[in-house]
Amino acid sequence: GKYYLNKYHFRSLINHYIDLAKHGQMKISIKEFLTMLAANKFEQQAERIKEYYDLMISQDFLPNSPTMMNAGARLGQLSACFVLAMPDDMEKIMKSSSDAALIFKSGGGVGINYSELRPEGDMVASTSGVASGPVSFMNIINTVTEVVKQGGKRRGANMGIIEAWHPDIEKFITAKTKPGVLENFNVSVGVWEDFWEALVNSSDGKYVLRSPLDKSPVREVNAHHLIDLISLSAWKSAEPGLIFFDIINKYNVFAKARGAPLRATNPCGEQSLYPYESCNLGSINLANFVKRKADGQYEFDWQRYEETIRKTTRFLDNVIDVNNYPIPEINQASKDSRRIGLGVMGVADL
């Protein structure tokens, strides 16, 4: 059916227009806009708009929270998930921290691999001092998260990753067993084939920890000790998780184009991303696709489910183009790779 504007809809429409126009985001006057609206100039888009509206109002599908909160608002940042780099350089560390603050402000969360940072106690030639280690720099992002609410509405979320070969790996594994530490982080140990080989095939479990600067050996540990430490810490505090970078990169379709492996995920781990990429998430409500047959039995409506997948995939891809990204690097990387994540919800209600 048709959707008619009542006075409350109209007032909201005008307020949105005024807010957007005030910040230079409307290319036509309010008179032209309303004239076009009255003349059905948006008729071509109307069918698809109604299609998406019906999907959401029926709760067949919902996009991620930033899309729900920021669409039509001046902020206009619609993505939930981002990945940033963390090079072993103080200026770049502070740049990433600043970028993270802008992402949190706009409603997103951040994943970062801290493995490039030199371990605690390493010499720093430029200052003749010693490094404080990657866990200490995670505390910077943790504090930024604490004070900058997502889109002014909620606190942000982070994924902190250190790979198993890093000399500070034990400190990282046990970091969250202490109350109040890195409370705005999920933390995960990144593992590759060499870790599993040491764990399964090596008689003594010998595993070499390496310098992040030149990959030279630093010391040896027992892989069995590391997996036991991970298990004990996860039992105590539900952290850390494990990220199987060997498997992720086996199926990485961007490996050749990017010339590098994937080494980070978004805060909840659904999507592996390169630095400065973002992804838009959405979920289809499976419970809504169960229908009752004439004989009283229930069945899953696979045809409507397939149609909904096609529509919502297009929806999430469209978000990439209309999104207002928090920094230019993210704008470019996101449009280059066009990452989306369509999942399901309502499984328990089936």
Q: What is the total residue count of the chain?
A: 350
- The pairs formed by 244-250 with CB atoms below 8 angstroms and a separation of 24 or more are 244/191, 245/163, 245/190, 245/191, 245/192, 246/191, 246/192, 246/193, 246/196, 248/272
Residue 114 scores a pLDDT above 70: yes
Going along the chain from its start, the domains and CATH numbers come out as: 1-41 (no CATH), 42-75+279-349 (no CATH), 86-275 (3.20.70.20)
Candidates 64, 184, 266, 285; catalytic one: 266
Looking from the CA of 281 toward its CB, the CA atoms found within 13 Å total 20
* Local structure of residue 265 (DSSP, 8 states): B
What are the pLDDT digits (tens) for 213-243?
999 999 999 999 999 999 999 999 999 999 9
What are the pLDDT digits (tens) for 37-85?
555 555 667 778 788 888 988 899 999 988 888 887 777 889 999 999 9
Beta bridge partners of 272: 265
What are the pLDDT digits (tens) for 305-322?
999 999 999 999 999 999
What would the DSSP string read from start to end of 294-350? TTS-EEE-HHHHHHHHHHHHHHHHHHHHH---SSHHHHHHHHHH-EEEEEEE-GGG-
Candidates 32, 146, 183, 270; catalytic one: 270
Alpha-carbon distance of 67 to 56, in angstroms, equals 12
Residue 266 annotated among the catalytic residues of the structure: yes
How many CB atoms neighbour CB 335 within 10 A?
A: 13
Residue 113 annotated among the catalytic residues of the structure: no
Q: Specify whether the CB–CB gap between 231 and 121 falls below 8 A.
A: no
Residue 270 annotated among the catalytic residues of the structure: yes
pLDDT at residue 2, rounded to an integer? 46
Q: Which residue has the higher pLDDT, 24 or 143?
A: 143
Alpha-carbon distance of 173 to 191, in angstroms, equals 13
Candidates 120, 142, 268, 331; catalytic one: 268
pTM here is 0.83
pLDDT at residue 124, rounded to an integer? 74
